[in-house]
Amino acid sequence: MKFTVVKPVILASASPRRKEILSLLGFPFAVVPSNVPEDLALGNNDFESYARQLAAMKTQAVANEEQGSIVIGADTIVVHNGKIYSKPESKEQARTFLKELSGESHTVITGVGLYMGDEICTFSVQTKVTFRELDDMLINAYVESGDPMDKAGGYGIQTAGALLVEKIEGDYYNVMGLPIAMLTEYMRKLSLMELKGGVSFIDN
């Protein structure tokens, strides 16, 4: 199953995981990292709004230079007990994150921004992830592998971090960093892409 798009598409992210997921749709796209700092102030503990705002900022930063394209930006956060778990800044912080998430459920939220000519629309998707009880040996081995260091919450569900997970409730690709099913729905409803062969989207 492949899609065609009405304009060139740019992914405003350097994430290899988002690139891999977007490739599932079968159309060519360019990658232009936004380089927007992920230090937006959180207001009123509205984590979904926070993720959407960051996604919009990343999208806008690239759209400013690529106004003839469809630009897709995204930001993924991990939330547990009212706290955002960002990408760990050290191995020790990664260990702390994993110990705090051990045996607990947390929420992964991805905000997505979609630029389409003169405006940016945003949406967000939540997935609940429950970790197994993790022993120190497993945590240390995973941290020493280096895998946690570029991932929100200090783990990647698509890599060895899958061994930490007991179950998920919701979109797996959202945990990876891009909720591709919802993105596809938005792009089809906005007439930004269609299935090859001219099959249009029918909104029931």
How far is the C-alpha of 163 from the C-alpha of 156, rounded, in Å?
10
Nearest to 11 by CA among 71, 57, 61: 71
Residue found by looking up tokens 């003169």 in the block: 118
How far is the C-alpha of 154 from the C-alpha of 176, rounded, in Å?
12
Catalytic site residue from 39, 75, 118, 203: 75
Three-class SS of residue 91? helix
How many Cβ atoms are within 10 Å of 59's Cβ, its own excluded? 28
Q: For the packed helices 136-144 and 91-101, what is the interaxial angle rounded to 10 degrees?
A: 140
Nearest to 179 by CA among 72, 37, 87: 72
Q: Is 75 one of the catalytic residues?
A: yes
- Termini Cα distance of the chain: 21
How far is the C-alpha of 180 from the C-alpha of 44, rounded, in Å?
28
Residues assigned a catalytic role:
75
